[in-house]
Amino acid sequence: MPNKACFSRARIRVLRVISRMNIGGPSLHVYYLTEGLRKDRFESHLVVGKVSHLEGSMEDLFSGPWRPLTTIPELRREINVRRDLIAFFKLLRIIRSKKPHIVHTHMSKAGYLARLAVVFLRVFGRRRILAVHTFHGNVFSGYFSPWKSKLFLLIERMLARFTDAIIAISEGQRRDLVHRFRVAGPDKIRMIRLGFDLEPFLSNDALKGRFRERLGMGVDQRLVGIVGRLVPVKNHRLFLEAVRQLKEADPGDQTRFVVVGDGMLRGELENLVRDLEVADRVIFSGWQREMASVYADLDLLCLTSINEGTPVAVIEAMASGVPVAATDVGGGPDLLGPVVGSSGEALYAVCERGLMCRRGDPESVAWAIRDVILGAVPELDRCVMRARLYVAQYYSRGRLVEDVENLYESLLEGCGRAGKAKRDRLKRVLTGLECDRGVGGIIRCLINGWA
């Protein structure tokens, strides 16, 4: 039964659910949306999970008397059947209490549990709640063992049938979801780019020197950085192996390399730095709150991930006028743009807005770093300028909010029209008019009728 609110012009109630508000792009994304949706048209509430002690939290973004935030301690990244069941039933209770028109989920665990709760209420509570899910990345490669990855993909394909819209944050990610992983058809997967408050990065020239001073560096030394959580999928090992190759090629070079971020691999990576004999060149700075000052002092940003959605660090670096060298994964190639050339040895590609390195190849990353430091990349300044203009145009906070508002409006406008068609289809299924023979056929028809 469709919710009568589908046809109402009252405020649209949006319940947003994210697995955890750890430091990173997804947390900023949900903050901008929760804060930024028009208050005269939308009523927003955010449900968050528990941040690991190994990660920094961004829950303090929601401060002051207006704090539309509910925390479920059992909603965590790690798989735990007992905790996950508790989180599921708490989500059920919250959704029933808040009576949202739209449940919008972010990150995998929140996406699984909250959308299952929506399906449960659709079937047993006879509530027409729209479900939207945003892929900030995916867990289908680079995170778990092959069999776990396949299991999560099967679950995602099943949940996609009950999801009214799936948001990909880059064109490359949309292609992967449609063609590579076959999560859903192209009609259900929408592409909405991320959006950020880029003004601090576009105007950070006055901050030059502050981060270097905190690191105890001179203004004449070159500084190359990598920004992100210290977790396996970010593949910091590749970055550090490239540093080793650069030191072996030129032991007297004074370039320093800073690892900005923290996480579960901090101790392991610090040991690796000593094993590779590059401790004199690598600095672990931990998380930095004033990221605009970090980028103001970088000569190059590297990204060496195995898997990415749209890398926030790359967008921030581009807005700051910092050259970028990134591996060809996820939404990275979309940010870097089309290939316009290559290095002399073809170890990396020169793109319209940055350098693209081969994934898993430390020599490719090392060569890109070396050429930027030596000024051997043709027209690098023009490349940096194009990157800055590109992110300012396509990755603003205002554009993100407007795109999501338009999506919500379009889904609700179609809610009433789709409701009657779904009820008619379900009626035909239940009366056997569309079912194959056998139990399997009946189950398939019931799924199709409720999806």
Q: What is the mean pLDDT of residues 77-101?
A: 95
Angle ∠(168,172,178) on CA atoms, nearest 5: 65
Residue-wise pLDDT tens digits, 295-322: 999 999 999 999 887 899 999 999 999 9
116 close to 87: Cβ distance less than 8 angstroms: no
Cβ count near 216 (within 10 Å): 8
Residue-wise pLDDT tens digits, 319-373: 999 999 999 988 889 999 999 988 767 799 999 999 999 999 999 999 999 999 9
Residue-wise pLDDT tens digits, 151-179: 889 999 999 999 999 999 989 889 999 99
Q: What is the mean pLDDT of residues 187-191?
A: 96
According to DSSP H, which parts of 361-451 are helical? 362-374, 380-394, 397-430, 439-450
Residue ranges of domains in the chain, CATH in brackets: 4-195+397-444 (3.40.50.2000), 199-394 (3.40.50.2000)
Residue-wise pLDDT tens digits, 406-432: 999 999 988 755 555 555 655 555 555
Residue-wise pLDDT tens digits, 207-253: 999 999 999 998 889 999 999 999 999 999 999 999 999 999 999 99
pTM: 0.81
Residue 227 φ then ψ, to 5°: -125, 125
Q: How far apart are CA 373 and CA 367, in angstroms?
A: 10
Confidence (pLDDT) at 316: 97
Cβ count near 151 (within 10 Å): 12
169 three-class SS: coil
- Any idea which residue has 């649209």 for tokens? 12
Per the prediction, the chain carries an average pLDDT of 88
Q: What is the mean pLDDT of residues 246-265?
A: 95
